[in-house]
Each structure stands twice: as C-alpha cells, then as structure tokens.
Amino acid sequence: MRELTNTAVIDWLKALAQVYTEKKDYLTDLDRAIGDADHGVNMARGFAAVAEKVAPLTDQDIGAIFKTAAMTLISTVGGASGPLYGTFFLQAAAGASGKTALTVTETGAVLEAGLKGVVARGKAAVGDKTMIDALTPAVSAYQAAAGDGSLSAALDKARQAARAGAEATVPLVAKKGRASYLGERSAGHPDPGAESTALLFDALWRVAAK
C-alpha cells in the first residue's frame, strides 16, 4: 500500500475496536497496578463507539472520519484517555481534510500533528512514563523511513519503535498522571497508555500491509 485511503482508515479504526476489546483485561490489569484500573474498559468502550460511528462514512474524506473518531472518543471515554486520544485524532483531522487518500508523506504529517496535539494537551515528554514514550519514537521512526516511499514499511518501523518505547516505560518513575502519585512505586510496571499506543500502531501497520 502506497497510500492510506479513507476505507483503510475506517478499517484501522474498526480493527482498533477489536484489538482493545481483546486486550481490555490486559490493559486494565496494567492500569490497576499504577492507575485507576479503567484504561482497558475505557479504550474498548470508546473504540467500539468509534467503529460504529465511522462504519457508514466510506464516502467521506479522512479528515471527517478522524474528526468523528475524535468527537466520539472525547464524549465516551473517561479519564485522560478520551481527551488525549481524541486530541490525537482531532489534530490529525486538520491535515487530512478534503482528502480521500494520504500519501506516505501526508500520513507522516498527520501523525506528527497528532503527536504535537497530545504533547500540548498532556504536557508530557519522553521519559515521563506516558503514551508519549511510545508515540514520539513511533512518529520519529515513521518519518525516518518515509523517504523510501513505502507506507507499510514506514509503519512497520513505527510500530517497532512504539513497542520498544512501551517496553522502555517499565523501569521509569511516572511524572504525569495518576501513576505519578505513586512515586518510586510506579517503577517496574509498563505504562498502560504507552501499551495502548503500541497496539494502535500495530493495528495501523496490519491494515497497511494487506
């Protein structure tokens, strides 16, 4: 796949609903260790709603699809996840407005916009033990590989970087969010948001690799 089409984006969002439903208990267990024990439930509920909302939008541009996903997440997901993931898709929507397909370069710009939105919203940096620890290296890896012109290859690099970033949160002491209240006790556990971000990129790569 050399372009990310509107139907591929819908397939991605529907795949995320399935992934987060399958991983609901796993993500909730991660969150139980250092958070409110609701991350898996929230992500599964939110993306199930997203899948339902975007399924009929096959004639819409990608910006409209992303905006629908964003508004749905913000209105249905509790805690920090709804606003942060909602912001990611809302900022991504701006660069995809009016487009029914995104080139490799345009996809990178959309991912970059989403990352910047999450950073601005959550005020987190790499090393704070948040979703940014997976999102930042994923976007950087994508941009570094995008010059080859292969969407699936760039996304493969992105998902590998997101996975490595999520795993790297284990020894970190949380500096943001609920987990930060635990101080040193937050070390030794993966960050749930970084893990759900790694799952997000893995799902996008699988759709693009078809």
Instruction: Please choose, from the candidates 195, 198, 190, 162, the residue with its C-alpha nearest in 3D space to the C-alpha of residue 174.
Output: 190
Residues of the chain with pLDDT under 70: none
The confidence score (pLDDT) of residue 179 equals 86
129 CA to centre of own chain: 15
Q: CA-CA distance, 177 to 55, in Å (whole number)?
A: 33
Q: Which residue has the tokens 């994508």?
A: 142
The domain tally of the chain equals 1
Predicted pLDDT of residue 158: 98
CATH number for position 56: 1.25.40.340
Report yes or no on whether pTM surpasses 0.75: yes
Question: What pLDDT sits at residue 164?
Answer: 98
d(CA 16, CA 190) in angstroms, rounded, equals 20
pLDDT of residue 78: 74
The residue range of the domain holding 117 is 3-208
